[in-house]
Amino acid sequence: MMKLWKRASGALKDRKSLFSIGFSRKTSFRNPDLDSAIIHATSHDDTSVDYRNAHRVYKWIRSSPTNLKPLVHSLSSRVNRTRSWIVALKALMLVHGVLCCKVSSVQEIRRLPFDLSDFSDGHSRPSKTWGFNAFIRAYFSFLDQYSFFMSDQLRRRHRKPQVESVSQELERIQKLQSLLHMLLQIRPMADNMKRTLILEAMDCVVIEIFDIYGKICSAIAKLLIKIHPATGKSEAVMALKIVKKATSQGEDLALYFEFCKEFGVSNANEIPKFVSIPEEDIKAIEKAINGVEEEEEETKKEEMEVEEEKGIILVERPELLQTIITDKWEVFEDDLCFTCKENTETDQHRKYNVDPSPLPLIVIDEPVYFTHTLPDLITF
Residue 161 is given by DSSP the state -
pLDDT, residue 317, reads 47
With a cut of 50, which residues of the chain have pLDDT below it? 311-321, 332, 334-354, 356-359, 361-380
- The model scores a pTM over 0.95: no
Spatial contact of 339 and 352, defined as CB atoms under 8 Å apart = yes
pLDDT of 343 reads 46
Query: What's residue 221's pLDDT?
Result: 86
pLDDT digits (tens, 9 = 90+) for 135-147: 999 999 999 999 9
Q: What is the model's pLDDT at position 378?
A: 40
Q: State residue 210's pLDDT score.
A: 92
pLDDT tens per residue, range 235-253: 888 888 998 899 899 889 9
Instruction: Provide CB contacts within 8 A for 131, sequence distance 6+.
Output: 188, 189, 190, 192, 193
Give the pLDDT confidence score for residue 222 in this predicted structure. 86
- Residue 307 confidence (pLDDT): 57
Distances (CA, A) of 219 to 108, 213, 319: 24, 10, 74
State the pLDDT at residue 342. Answer: 45
From CA 298, how far away is CA 296, in angstroms rounded?
5
pLDDT at 373: 45
Q: What is the pLDDT of residue 379?
A: 42
Q: Rounded to the nearest 5 degrees, what angle is found at the Cα of 192, between the Cα atoms of 189 and 198?
A: 70
Q: CB neighbours of 100 closer than 8 A, spacing ≥ 6?
A: none
φ/ψ (deg, to 5) at 6: -65, -40
Instruction: Give me the pLDDT at residue 38, please.
Output: 95
Angle between the N-to-C axes of helices 279-310 and 196-226, in degrees from 0 to 180, rounded to the nearest 10: 40
The alpha carbon of 176 is separated from its chain's Cα centroid by a whole number of angstroms, namely 9
